């Protein structure tokens, strides 16, 4: 269907401290990059801060 728009929601956790963010898995960025490269889907990365 040429008029169909696909939106991909990628939930991510974001730790409070910088050193924890550096160690956090970057899976959301990898998935977003792969989908963006192969399709014209709209990508929304939803970040949830962990306190």
Domain boundaries of the chain, sorted by first residue: 7-49
Residue of 11, 14, 10, 24 lying closest to 51 (CA atoms)? 14
pLDDT, tens digit, 9 for 90 and up, residues 1-39: 678 889 999 998 888 888 887 777 778 888 999 999 988
Q: Is 28 exposed, middle or buried (0-12, 13-18, 19+ CB in 10 A)?
A: middle
Q: Hey, what are 47's tokens?
A: 């970040």
Q: How many CA atoms lie within 13 A of 44 on its CB side?
A: 6
Q: The whole model's pTM is what? A: 0.67
Number of H helices, E strands in the chain: 2, 2
What SS3 class is residue 11?
A: strand
């Amino acid at each position: 269907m040429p008029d169909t728009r696909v939106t991909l929601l990628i939930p991510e956790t974001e730790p409070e401290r910088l050193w924890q963010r550096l160690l956090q898995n970057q899976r959301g960025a990898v998935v977003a990059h792969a989908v963006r490269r192969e399709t014209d889907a709209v990508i929304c990365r939803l970040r949830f801060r962990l306190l």
